[in-house]
Amino acid sequence: IMAADQEDESLRRYKEALLGAAQAEKIIVDPNDPRKVIVKKLALVVEGRDDMELDLTGDLSQLKKQLFVIKEGVQYKVRIDFIVQREIVHGLKYVQKTSRLGVTVDKMKHMVGSYPPKKEIQFYLTPAEEAPSGTFSRGTYSVSSVFTDDDKHIHLEWDWTFEIKKDWA
C-alpha cells in the first residue's frame, strides 16, 4: 500500500496516518488467532447508567441466555470493541436485525470504516437510537448481529436478547 502512488504527497501522508505503527512492524496481538478482526465485546451505552456489556470472546451460544433490560423510550447507543491485527481492514460494517415473535421489526446497518492494525482495542459507537415505548412495544426481542467488511469477510456473527420494560427494574 505504501509503495503505490508515492508521487501524490497528500495520499502518502494519508496512508502514513492510517497505517501508523503498522508500517514499521507487522502487528499481531494474538499469534494463535488467524483472524484480522477480533471482536471483544458489545455494549449498550445509556447516559447516566453503567454500560451493559456482552463478552464476545467466549461461547457465543450462551449470549441468548443473558437478557439486557432496556427502559422504554430511553436513548441508547451500541458500542463494539475490537482489535485489528495482521493487516488493514477496509469497510467494516455492523449489521443488526431485531425480531419480535419471529417478525423482523428493525434492521440497521452502520458503516464502521477502515482500520489499521493496532495493539490497542479500537471501538465503534453507533448514533443514538430511541427504544420503542408503549404497552405494545414492551417485551422480549431477539437480535442477530454481524460484523463484516467490504471483502465479505464475516469477522463475527452472534445472537443476543433484550427486553423492553416500563422501567429499569
Residue 68 in domain: yes
Report the pLDDT value the prediction gives residue 4, as an integer from 0 to 100.
60
Residue 17 in domain: no
pLDDT tens for 103-159 read 999 999 999 998 988 889 999 999 999 999 999 999 999 999 999 999 899 999 999
Residue 139 in domain: yes
Residues with Cβ within 8 Å of 130's Cβ and at least 6 positions away in sequence, in order, are: 73, 74, 75, 76
**Per the structure block, which three cell numbers stand in for 134?**
408503549
pLDDT tens for 42-62 read 999 999 999 999 999 989 998
Residue 99 in domain: yes
pTM score: 0.83
pLDDT surpasses 90 at 23: no
Residue 121 in domain: yes
CATH number, domain at 70? 2.70.50.30
Residue 59 in domain: yes
> How many domains are contained in the chain?
1
Cα–Cα–Cα angle for 112, 114, 120, rounded to 5 degrees: 90
Residue 47 in domain: yes
User: Over the chain, what is the mean pLDDT?
Assistant: 89
Residue 1 in domain: no
pLDDT tier for residue 14 given thresholds of 50, 70 and 90: confident
- Domain range for 131 is 29-165
Report the pLDDT value the prediction gives residue 22, as an integer from 0 to 100.
55
What sign results for the dihedral spanned by CA atoms 9, 13, 14, 16? Answer: positive
Report the pLDDT value the prediction gives residue 74, as an integer from 0 to 100.
95
